[in-house]
Structure 1
């Protein structure tokens, strides 16, 4: 771990991103997201990824539930609850339509287990959530959602013709999602500078590990 945060390094979340070193670029410019944006991603790769992400969603919902409980004050709790609602409604509808198009039967998606790298990803998020520490929950959620916003922002028209690729981009490249990520970052930027040195180190470690496991998540889609 590098030196701890100081205000002259910019926003706290910018410092966290810097502390990830080359991992940030590996996560946001991965072959998986590049091929997705270019509409050259093999359906078999995306199918594997989407099933794993669907299984993982239950973990994310659990994490967001902990975030609602840990958030300091009703305004923040309402923002987290709104985000939770989007995950359980809009994204779930997307998954079901995409599975039908990709030929994924209900039995397969309901009985598939997480691959080891993705299980590690889920475990890290659950550890942060069960700490009941708002700073740790923010660290992993900001890392995960900011990575997705960052790769999706590279999208240029025309988007992929396959609706399941196009809509996955659109779910992560729109003003609402950008606003959610901006708010999440602002929450962490607000509390991060006031954390003790030990707490800053823990938050930075959580953030970096999450980004590392995002890379592993994308790798796993290729069967690596």
Structure 2
């Protein structure tokens, strides 16, 4: 069992509240209100700006060239991910400037600043544990929503979003992040410290669930 599986098992309730959230279930069913998805998507774009900063911080916190390259790859993946948001939002007449002018929701601020604080106050391992629910979790969600493959989604209203995270490109990003997390843990994690990292992972998972909830609340506005 790698460190990611151990963290998931130790924080199972918090993890499940995130990956099995009603927002995710409704998106998989195709019943998610467009207003909820649109609110989520705008906030997720703002979220990714802060996560790009977190990956840049990971490069700064790195002590080896391999770790710096891992941070560079993570940052590049985040920047590529924003293109999906811009493309989808354009369908509702929202420009990139419109998205960037939107105010950050409290759920966006809470999660992103938590991750940045973990990076600023902790070491590289703690930062990557805080990043893991997002980076690796979205790949798991993408897989969960495509049990018969992306092609089987046919005319599903959220096929493009689901396909992005279920696709080979993002799955490779998540696999690399998972491998790197295991390497960092092998270098510096003790069993005593594992409990501290579980607390970080659990909180990040709860904040992910809160982020989905923020989107669901958008459907009533």
Question: What's the TM-score, normalizing by structure 1?
Answer: 0.85
Equivalent residue for 1:124, pick from 114, 117, 129: 114
The aligned counterpart of 2:23 is: 32
| Aligned positions of 1:50-199 closer than 5 A | 50-88=41-79, 90-105=80-95, 108-131=98-121, 133-154=123-144, 155=146, 156=148, 157-159=151-153, 161=155, 165-192=158-185, 194-199=188-193
Which protein is richer in helix relative to its size? 2
139-148 or 198-207: bigger deviation: 198-207
Shift of 1:213: 0.7
Number of aligned positions between the proteins: 213
In structure 2, how many angstroms separate the alpha carbons of the residues matched to 1:214 and 1:91? Answer: 17
1:207 paired to 2:201: yes
- TM superposition score normalised by structure 2: 0.86
- Partner secondary structure for residue 114 of structure 1: coil
Q: Distance in 2 between matches of 1:111 and 1:176?
A: 29
CA contact (8 A) 1:192 1:200 kept: no
Point out where structure 1 has 5 or more consecutive residues left out of the alignment.
1-9
Task: Output the aligned Cα RMSD.
Answer: 2.2
CA distance in 2, matches of 1:189, 1:105: 39
Gaps of 5+ in 2: none
The alpha carbon displacement at 1:207 in A equals: 0.8
